Amino acid sequence: MRKCQSVLAFASLVAALLAAGSSMGADDALEAPRSGDGEPAYVARPEPAKPASGPVPIYVPPELGSPLQSVGAGTRGAGRKATLQPLAPDHLGLTTAEAPTLYWFLAEPTSTRMDLTLRDERSVEPLLEVELPTPASAGIHALRLSDHGVKLGSDQNYQWFVSLVPDPERRSKDFVAGAWIRRSDLAPELRQRLAAAPGARAAFLYAEHGVWYDALATLSAQIAATPGDGALRAQRAALLEQVGLSEAAASDRQAGQLP
């Protein structure tokens, strides 16, 4: 008799568990999304966002013999953010333009007077010495030599400087950063490739042939025309990083992510 009661109790317990499982399954089915035919719909797990990627220009430094080093202190000390940097390599940079555009990076906004100076290797007096507009915002800035009637001679080296001038009466306190530039005739091979390639490829071709200033100017002109194009800013940032201008590159990447 006791055996029979135990069997009945066990059977009741199993039945209760099966009923509970069926009820839970029904509840789950009600909560699950369903497709149009009534079957439970498959819900894909969202993929993590992937960083934007694409081709970037590759700068190949020209072979010009002994390098000419950049001039002045472009940083506030080791490991600290750059205050003022010419956007140029630490060697002689090339341009094919008679009156190229010069670019520099300012890490922080300033109301301090700023000057730009251009010299050649022969003259005592500068070819150009101009006070830049202030206050100046942080970011990348440019000056077109054509606006000042200045032309570079072919196959001549020039040195240009951007200076912060806190005390015009005591120029020894100037914060100066400079770079070298040389105008070189357009190589026949590069001329042919530029003529055959779309305009968007010009910066890539200039960089590949070691023409730094023209590669930078081409990308910068495209960015000025479409400032919200993050891909163009990523390309310019990649170009800047290749010559150690990481602060300016980071600023460009950040600007490319803004809506």
Q: CA 144 → CA 16, 102, 213, distances in Å? A: 86, 6, 12
- In a domain, residue 33? The reply is no
- Quick one: pLDDT at residue 70? 52
The domain that holds 124 is classified in CATH as 2.60.40.10
Q: What is the pLDDT of residues 190-225, one digit of tens each?
A: 999 999 988 889 999 999 999 999 999 999 999 999
159 against 199, higher pLDDT: 159
Q: CA 120 → CA 34, 87, 88, 150, 178, distances in Å? A: 76, 19, 17, 12, 13
- Quick one: pLDDT at residue 255? 84
- Quick one: pLDDT at residue 167? 94
- In a domain, residue 25? The reply is no
Distance CA 147, CA 141 (A): 15
210 against 17, higher pLDDT: 210
Distance CA 52, CA 241 (A): 17
The runs of H, that is alpha helices, within 116-211 are 188-196, 202-208
- In a domain, residue 143? The reply is yes
- In a domain, residue 158? The reply is yes
Average pLDDT over residues 250-257: 86
- What are 147's two structure tokens? 């606006």
Q: By the 8 A CB rule, do 240 and 249 touch?
A: yes
Whether the predicted pLDDT of 9 surpasses 50: no
**Among 64-73, 80-89, 101-110, where is mean pLDDT lowest?**
64-73
- In a domain, residue 234? The reply is yes
- In a domain, residue 9? The reply is no
Per-chain mean pLDDT for the chain: 80
Q: By the 8 A CB rule, do 72 and 176 touch?
A: yes
Q: What is the pLDDT of residues 98-156, one digit of tens each?
A: 999 999 999 999 999 999 999 998 888 999 999 999 999 999 999 999 999 999 999 99
- In a domain, residue 214? The reply is yes
* Total H helices, total E strands in the chain: 6, 9
Query: Which residue segment(s) compose the domain that 163 sits in?
Result: 71-256
- In a domain, residue 243? The reply is yes
Contacts of 88 (CB under 8 A, 6+ apart): 70, 103, 179, 180, 181, 212, 213, 243
Distance CA 34, CA 112 (A): 66
Most confident region among 6-15, 27-36, 52-61 by mean pLDDT: 52-61
Q: Provide φ and ψ at 160, rounded to 5°.
A: -130, 150
The verdict on pTM exceeding 0.85 is: no
Distance CA 25, CA 17 (A): 12
Query: Residue 165 carries which side chain, given as an amino acid letter?
Result: V
Strand partners, 105: 85, 140
Q: How many domains does the chain have?
A: 1
